[in-house]
Amino acid sequence: MPATLGELADRFGCDIQGDPSVVVECVGTLSGASINAISFLANPFYSSQLKDTQAGAVIIEEHYKEVCQTPALITDNPYALYARVAQFLHPLEVVNPSIHPTANIAIDSKISGSVAVGANAVIGSEAKIGESAIIGEGCFVGPNVTIGSYTRLAPNVVLMPGVVIGERCIIHSGVVCGSDGFGFAREDKLWIKVPQVGGVRVGDDVEIGANSTIDRGTIENTVIEDGVKLDNLVHIGHNVIIGAHTVMSALCGVAGSTIIGKRCMFGGAVVVVDHLTICDDSMFTFHCTVLQSVSKPGTYSGALSADSSKRWRRNAARFKKLDSFIKPFRKDP
């Protein structure tokens, strides 16, 4: 969907430098864009590419105006403006209401007339699906599942019985939501299964990455609050609560009954033990192990156990020279 720079500036309320009649049709990187594309500069790492870009227009901060030869949108937050412009130029595919003839739909399910259901999808008894939702090919939507309006399930998603998904969510392929929590009681060295009778409740505007798994609660619900974004291959254990607008990168895992606050940020492969409470606005860096509750917002790091990032960085630097430091003190051969 092409637009002039002037139209984009009006729509998103930002300033222009250069010709407002320039037309852009798609997005591009500074180094790879052609003349019909709009690019952006958000990470200073790429600033040297600004002067040579072939893009038709760019999105930049005020202080790049002087070095920028290309027609530009000016903003305090180029990445957010880029996201909005990209959404506008590359809109989501329009939902084409239809139920594929090979889909298996329980007769007592309640499916809005504006929903698209793909080939071989299965929708169970008393499931409810809101307007303009998309159920991808091969998805399993169990009995009593509720899916909010405008939510999109990619192919081969599994929502086990009773799971509740909010509005405008995006659930990527291979996600399993509502599988049994990992609960066993030990007796005479054997394991007795503890029935997992709770559910999963996912809020609005949540995105869940490919092949991630979210277990149902033991008794009450596992909860993913509004606006949470989970990357691929993330595991959320039973009874966990993930606070609103928290983001979690790929290969993270949260063990059972841990409560994570709002607006937290988890780098990739961060793992969190069970029964912790993590306060709002906590950040955990890449591959960190979280073994203790966190009651103070801040940035935490560490492969041993989460520590303040400043202290961790110092210790880690020392660790790299630990052997050479200690050697003179010892009579090792």
Helix (H) or strand (E) holding 16: strand 15-17
- Please name the amino acid found at residue 291: L
Q: How many residues bind a second copy (CB under 8 A)?
A: 105
95 binding a second copy? (CB under 8 A): no
**Residue choice 227, 242, 243, 294 for contact with a second copy (CB under 8 A):** 227
What residues are annotated to the active site?
Answer: 238
Q: Which stretch binds a second copy (CB under 8 A): 7-15, 16-24, 62-70, 325-333?
A: 325-333
Q: List the x/- string, 169-188, binding to a second copy by CB under 8 A.
A: -x-xxx-x--xx-xxxxxx-
Residues 99-118 that bind a second copy (CB under 8 A): 100, 102, 104, 118
**Residue choice 25, 97, 235, 292 for contact with a second copy (CB under 8 A):** 235
Q: Which is nearer to a second copy, 67 or 79 (CB)?
A: 79
Residues 131-160 that bind a second copy (CB under 8 A): 136-138, 140, 142, 154-156, 158, 160
Using the Cα atoms of residue 294, residue 289, residue 174 and residue 172 in order, give the sign of their dihedral.
positive
Return the CA Rg of the chain: 24
Long-range CB pairs of 27-34 (<8 Å, 24+ gap) are 27/82, 27/85, 27/86, 27/89, 27/90, 28/55, 30/55, 30/58
Min separation Cβ 324 and a second copy, Å: 8
**Residue choice 49, 268, 279, 292 for contact with a second copy (CB under 8 A):** 268
Contact 5, 25 (CB under 8 A): no
Contact 131, 111 (CB under 8 A): no
Q: Which is nearer to a second copy, 9 or 177 (CB)?
A: 177
Q: Which is nearer to a second copy, 21 or 102 (CB)?
A: 102
